[in-house]
Amino acid sequence: SIGNDGGYPNTFYDVANGTDLIRTIAEEHGFNSDRIIVVGHSAGGQLGGYITGRFRLKPNQPGYSTSPLRPIAFVSQAGVNNLWDGCDHAEETGSGAVISFLGGKYQMYPERYVLSSLAASSNLSVKVQYPSQFLPLEIPIQVITGSADVTVPISQTITLAEQAKIAGDNCTE
């Protein structure tokens, strides 16, 4: 851990450092770190996408590694996968958690949203359209959300599934 402050960028450094320890733990406990499946729920779904897509990070981005762990599959359970939409619909997506996590709206910090959102900006209120930095993930993806979920709208799952398939990923919902 790099400190007690969550949010951007510290959460990404913490998650990256923790993920990098998996190889060490695997050696110590005798399991295969080449067979890791990442499963994340809600905000953990967003972080799971970040872990899974870390191989696409650039050297100046939080959590970059020359040799990141490459999971073999990713499961997002009601994941907040489109932070652009989460910002525009803040009260319907975790009561404003996206804006709080990234320290402001995308109009102020678009680079934070690019780094944090598995899905590309697809909502019309984003004046400049930003592609997903992470897709394709190049592994199987399973996305799941309950149709009556009141914390993370099902549109989060639908958007990721559509964009992942367009990018060439094997994504089931």
The pLDDT-based confidence of 131 (bands split at 50, 70, 90) is confident
pLDDT at 3 over 80: no
Dihedral pair phi/psi, residue 80, rounded to 5°: -85, 85
Mean pLDDT, to the nearest integer, of 6-10? 89
Q: Is residue 43 helix, strand or coil? A: helix
The structure tokens listed for 149 are 């979920």
Contact 79, 97 (CB under 8 A): no
| Fold (CATH) for 37-60+71-172 | Rossmann fold (3.40.50)
Contact 19, 71 (CB under 8 A): no
The percentage of the chain sitting over the pLDDT mark of 90, rounded to a whole number, equals: 74
The pLDDT-based confidence of 142 (bands split at 50, 70, 90) is very high
pLDDT at 81 over 90: yes
Euclidean distance between CA atoms 151 and 94, whole angstroms: 5
| Average pLDDT over all residues of the chain | 90
Global pTM? 0.91
Nearest to 75 by CA among 143, 161, 3, 163: 143
Q: What is the pLDDT of residue 1?
A: 41
Q: Give the residue extent of every domain in the chain.
A: 37-60+71-172
Contact 138, 66 (CB under 8 A): no
Q: Which CA distances in Å does 113 have to 25, 120, 141, 166?
A: 31, 9, 21, 20
The structure tokens listed for 74 are 């990713």
Question: Is the omega angle on the peptide bond into residue 62 within 30 degrees of 0, that is, cis?
Answer: no
